[in-house]
Amino acid sequence: MSKIEHDRSHHAEKATGIGDPQCFHGEAGPAKFKVGDRVRIKNLPDLFYTRCQVYTRGAIGMVTEAVYESPAAEDEAWDNTESPEWFYSVVFRQQELWPDYPDLYANDTVETEFSERWLEAV
Amino acid sequence: MSQSTREQVMRHLEAVGYLQPALHKPQQAPYPDEIDHSLYRAYTRSAHDVGGEPDTPMTWEEKEEEQWELNTFATCECLAWRGVWNAEERRRRQNVDLGQTQYLGLPYYGRWLLTAARILVDKQHVTLTELVSKIDEVKSRYEQN
Expressed as residue numbers, the domain containing B109 is 66-145
Tell me if B38 is assigned to some domain. Answer: no
Where residue B132 falls among pLDDT bands split at 50, 70, 90?
very high
Q: Is B38 on the interface with A (CB under 8 A)?
A: no
Known active-site residue B109: no
Residue B1 pLDDT > 60, yes or no? no
Tell me if B74 is assigned to some domain. Answer: yes
Where residue A86 falls among pLDDT bands split at 50, 70, 90?
very high
With contact defined as beta carbons under 8 Å apart, do A66 and A78 qualify? no
- Reported as type and span, the H/E element at residue A92 is strand A85-93
Q: Indicate the pTM of the whole model.
A: 0.88
Residue A1 pLDDT > 60, yes or no? no
Percentage of chain A beyond pLDDT 90 is 82
d(CA A73, CA A81): 10
Tell me if B19 is assigned to some domain. Answer: no
Q: Which of A26-30, B3-7, B139-143 has the lowest mean pLDDT?
A: B3-7
Q: Which of A29-43, B39-53, B83-97 has the lowest mean pLDDT?
A: B39-53
Q: What is the mean pLDDT of residues B63-71?
A: 96
CB contact under 8 A, B92 and A49: yes
Helix (H, G, I), strand (E, B) or coil at B91: helix
**Could you give the ipTM of this predicted complex?**
0.90
Tell me if B71 is assigned to some domain. Answer: yes
CB contact under 8 A, A48 and B124: no
State the total domains in chain B: 1
Tell me if B50 is assigned to some domain. Answer: no
Structural domains in chain A plus CATH codes: 18-121 (2.30.30.50)
Name the residue with higher pLDDT: A40 or B3: A40
Cis ω for the linkage preceding A21 (within 30 of 0): yes
A76: chain B residues, CB-CB within 8 Å: 86, 88-89
Tell me if B16 is assigned to some domain. Answer: no
Name the residue with higher pLDDT: B69 or B63: B69
Tell me if B23 is assigned to some domain. Answer: no
Where residue B2 falls among pLDDT bands split at 50, 70, 90?
low
Which of these, A73, A94, A98, A101, lies nearest to A85 by C-alpha position?
A: A73
CATH number for the domain harbouring residue B127: 1.10.472.20
